[in-house]
Amino acid sequence: MSRVKALLIAAVVLLLGRGRPKRERRPEHRIVPPGPADRRAENLVLLLFGGVTACGVAFIVFYAIDKLGHETQWLGLALGLAFALLTLACIVIARRLVVTEELPEPYPEDHPDEVETIAELIDESGSRFTRKRLVTLAGAGALGTLGLAALTPAASLGPALDTSALKKTPWRRGRRLVDESGKPIPAADIEAEAFYTAYPEGADRELIGSPLVVVRIGPGNAGVVAYSKICTHAGCAIALYRKPTFPDTQPGPALVCPCHYSSFDPAKNGKVIFGPAGRPLPRLPLEIDGEGNLRAAGGFSGPVGPSWSGVRR
């Protein structure tokens, strides 16, 4: 505990003493004896810092390449290697490049004259470095690149200023609904108590506004309804369809998001009947074409996806 306290006091003293003029150094007097230069250790540290920088850059590049196979493993490898090299660099500095001096007396509580002494101690401990500025620069570059790599995943939080892309959906009047294999979906094929996923024909399925859930809530063509498959709570997929096993006493069917169990009533325009979602599931109006297949009759009843500022009603 007293060692920690001494270190804290040393740090404060150093900070306070930074701006003060340096004491005139007596060339014959040193607190820490000068250590011999070790160019090989210094080169090794420079090499290790270079490796850390390269790994940090590699992490950013791997993150940016969207279609990279085994991306998670590559990211982990880059980050793990960066920290391993950084650790090695610290060990080499501590063991081969920093002159250590142990003071046998306890650190004094009262330290009015110790500022310069500590600054001198630290300065002299680095006497083995012959290219201090270069090593400092390499270290700063390595840590800076690692910091940048740590911030890179924030880019996946989505657009910060222009969020209009999140509001775009491929659904227009007349666009046909297709199943996973791209086949049109006849309205008559939608059975009661079943759950179907549909996509817009000829459009990007990866768009947040593309996937639909289609269920039957009544007889005939009018009994088929479609909703966005993206939960309005936090954007997970609606993956469950709850149907009452004993309709006389149990609540009606519901589209359910398994993440936090938000439940939406398909018979009441996607109204939230349970869970944390703050607004209804957007509904897509449907029409039936001449061949009996489902088509969109317009756009969604509301913004698709999770709610955020400006979307929540």
Contact (Cβ atoms closer than 8 angstroms) between residue 293 and residue 185: yes
Q: How far is the CB of 260 from ligand FES (least distance, A)?
A: 3
Which is nearer to ligand FES, 177 or 231 (by Cβ)? 231
Which is nearer to ligand FES, 13 or 230 (by Cβ)? 230
- Torsion over CA: 17, 142, 39, 44 (sign): positive
Q: How far is the CB of 198 from ligand FES (least distance, A)?
A: 19
The residue with tokens 């666009």 is: 175
* CA pair distance 43, 141, nearest whole angstrom: 16
Helix, coil or strand: residue 294: strand
Contact (Cβ atoms closer than 8 angstroms) between residue 290 and residue 296: no
Q: How far is the CB of 302 from ligand FES (least distance, A)?
A: 16
Give helix then strand counts, H and E, for the chain.
6, 11
275 binds ligand FES (CB under 6 A): yes
Number of chain positions touching ligand FES (CB under 6 A): 11
Interface residues for ligand FES in 199-258 (CB under 6 A)? 231, 233-234, 236, 257
Which is nearer to ligand FES, 9 or 259 (by Cβ)? 259
Q: How far is the CB of 276 from ligand FES (least distance, A)?
A: 6
| Residue from 259, 267, 273, 297 in contact with ligand FES (CB under 6 A) | 259
Residues 6+ apart with CB under 8 A from 295: 173, 174, 175, 176, 177, 286, 287, 288, 289
Which is nearer to ligand FES, 47 or 236 (by Cβ)? 236
Q: In the complex, which residues of this chain contact ligand FES (CB under 6 A)?
A: 231, 233-234, 236, 257, 259-260, 262, 275-277
